[in-house]
Structure 1
Amino acid sequence: MGEPVVRNPVPSLLRALMTDHLDPGYEAAAASDPREPGRREAAVLVVGAMLVGCVFGVAFSQADRSSDEQLRSDTLSRVRDAESRAAELDSDRALLIDEIQTARAGALQNDAGGASLLADLNRLELAAGARSVRGPGIVVTVSEPPTLPDLSDVTDRTRGSANAAVLDRDMQVVVNSLWVSGAEAVSVDDVRIGPGVTIRQAGGAMLVDNRPVFSPYSVSAIGPSNRMQAQFSVSDAYLRMSGLEQLYGIGFDVTAEDTIEMQPSAVRSVRTAAGKGAP
């Protein structure tokens, strides 16, 4: 049996370098970490994904907000253009009506029959609100209550839709009471009240003859101012608005004016219907 081969012993330091790849301090720290391998990397990835999502969400929100603001600006611009165009058309209509009335007067006032017909036309147009009028009268001003300065005040001071305290029926009562008090012509915010003209609300907007009017609402009435003011002060409308002033804080004021001017109201064609077989 041959003699055993004697190998050269490997020094302990060289053996440690070949077998131990981690420094003892790192190895001890890794051994003391109770978390599973890879959990830290997964947490970092989740946090990074959340941050990226937040960045994209904020960017999308800002882009959507910019789009809404641009749409709102464009809508307001179109509304202002439409209002300006409507005002121009109203001015043109008033000029044309004056020209028609002048030409008609020149053609009819030369003989007795024409003068009588002209007087009847003037009377009917005045009743229909189709003529410009001017004279003394009174102005009833109704306004929404002022905004409460203390935002912590939760007192309910609203009556109708969209937090409006002044309703369409309030304005209707005021207008009807002015007619009863002797008014010869009535307008609401320069919109003449005539046959077929309505006062109503659509959402939070007050519409007179389908035209939006805004607080403070100015209701003008032409007629004998002293008599109208005396009769209006004891009318149902005055008592109603005085009560609303105390309950809801709306503005309510009545003043006499020496001169009030009103433009004619829109004249619409009257259509009639007859039953079958009627002449």
Structure 2
Amino acid sequence: MDPAEKLARRLLGDHLDPGYAQRAAQGRPSTRLDRVWMIAVLLVIGLILGAAAADAGSRAPATEQTRRGLVGSVRGAQQDTDRLGHRAQELGQAVEAARRAALDGDQTGANALAELRRLQIDAGTIEVTGPGMRITVDDKGDSRRPATSTSTVLDGDLQVLVNSLWSAGAEAISVNGIRLQPKSTIRQAGGAILIDNRPVGRPYVVEAIGAAAELHRRFLSTDAYGRFTAFSQLYGTVFTIAQADELRLPAGDPGRPRVATPMTSTSGR
């Protein structure tokens, strides 16, 4: 074996291990100053860790208290909203009774009441009943898929569903008991879906009033039906459709009138 080959074998086989082993065997004399520095460093590290732990411990109760305060505020606001909604409904019924008493005495008043009711139905400001469809959608909750995947029912999916029902001929629609109106919004806030800024939970029950058989037939050819059928087959998303002989949809927010003109009656009232 020539010298070049021996040198190559030694470099590849021995590396620098023998030199490191020899240096480690010799050791390094430890001095008192080294021990002092080591103790000082350990003390500083301990003080830092202790201060951090104490600070985290002191913040935990305050954070929990803040969270509870926010939860209490949200629940209180929801209760106030429900109370005011019931009060508005009572006042609306009183106004409706007064309106009928004032206008139901002649043909002009009766025609005005009929036209007003048609407009109120379109605006979603009065309760309506009638036949229609009830559609239930829900995410199966597959933990293997992230919350943002297409297996989750998102606000955009509900928007497509509602718009498809309108195009299929629905006269009135509600989602989880909230009546949809011309300016209603369906939005996502984190993991929650908001209907007119009111959170709704799963499952999502969409009720639509209209001629049940015709509404169902036309809905089967919409984008929403194709989308949710695919979701059901691919991801196990819950998607059920049922025709109903009678649905009752609540009144929506009456809002504020922007234009009002007095009516004249032929009877002189």
TM-score, reference length from structure 2: 0.76
Pair 1:104 & 2:99 matched = yes
Q: Distance in 2 between matches of 1:147 and 1:159?
A: 10
Structure 1 window deviating more from structure 2 (61-70 vs 88-97): it is 61-70
Counterpart residue identity of residue 204, structure 2: Y
Per the alignment, residue 90 of structure 2 pairs with 95
Matches within 5 A, 1:116-155: 116-148=111-143, 153=144, 155=145
Aligned match of 1:256: 243
Task: Pick from 76, 81, 97 the counterpart of residue 81 of structure 1.
Answer: 76
Task: For structure 2, list consecutive stretches of 5 or more residues without a partner in the other structure.
Answer: 1-27, 260-269
* 1:56 equivalent in alignment to 2:51: yes
SS at match of 2:32: coil
Aligned residues: 232
Among 213, 226, 241, the alignment partner of 1:239 is: 226
Residue by residue over 1:195-238, the C-alpha shift from the partner in whole angstroms, topping out at 9 and shown as x without a partner, is 22222334443222232223221111122323322322232211
1:1-279 to 2 correspondences below 5 Å: 34-148=29-143, 153=144, 155=145, 158-159=148-149, 165-269=152-256
Question: How far, CA to CA, are the matches of 1:271 and 1:106 in structure 2?
Answer: 24
Work out the percentage of aligned pairs sharing the same amino acid. Answer: 36
- 1:93, 1:114 → 2: CA distance? 25
Instruction: Tell me if the contact between 1:132 and 1:261 (Cα under 8 Å) persists in the aligned partners.
Output: yes
Letter in 2 for 1:198: T
How far did 1:75 drift?
A: 0.9
Q: Comparing 39-48 with 93-102, which one deviates more in the overlay?
A: 39-48
Shift of 1:181: 2.6
Counterpart-to-counterpart distance in 1, 2:112 and 2:32: 106
Query: What do the CA deviations read for 1:232-260 (whole angstroms, capped 9, x no partner)?
Result: 22322111111122334432111233332
The one-letter code of the counterpart of 1:121 is L
Runs of 4+ aligned structure 1 residues displaced above 6 Å come to: none
Q: 1:56 to 1:128 in 2, by over 3 A?
A: same
Distance in 2 (CA, whole Å) between partners of 1:76 and 1:158 is 25
Secondary structure of the structure 2 residue equivalent to 1:196: coil
Structure-2 separation of matches of 1:173 and 1:252: 14
SS in 2 for 1:265: coil
CA deviations 1:39-60 (Å, max 9, x no partner) are: 4344334333333332222111
Larger Rg: 1
2-structure distance, mates of 1:196, 1:187: 13
TM-score relative to the length of structure 1:
0.74
Equivalent residues of 1:133, 1:263 under 8 A apart:
yes
Aligned to 2:265: none
TM-superposed deviation, 1:92? 0.9
For structure 1, the 5+ residue unaligned runs are 1-32, 273-279
What CA RMSD, in Å, does the superposition of the two structures yield over aligned residues?
2.5
CA shift digits 1:20-74 (9 cap, x unpaired): xxxxxxxxxxxxx942134434433433333333222211112222222221111
In 2, distance between residues paired with 1:66 and 1:179?
A: 50
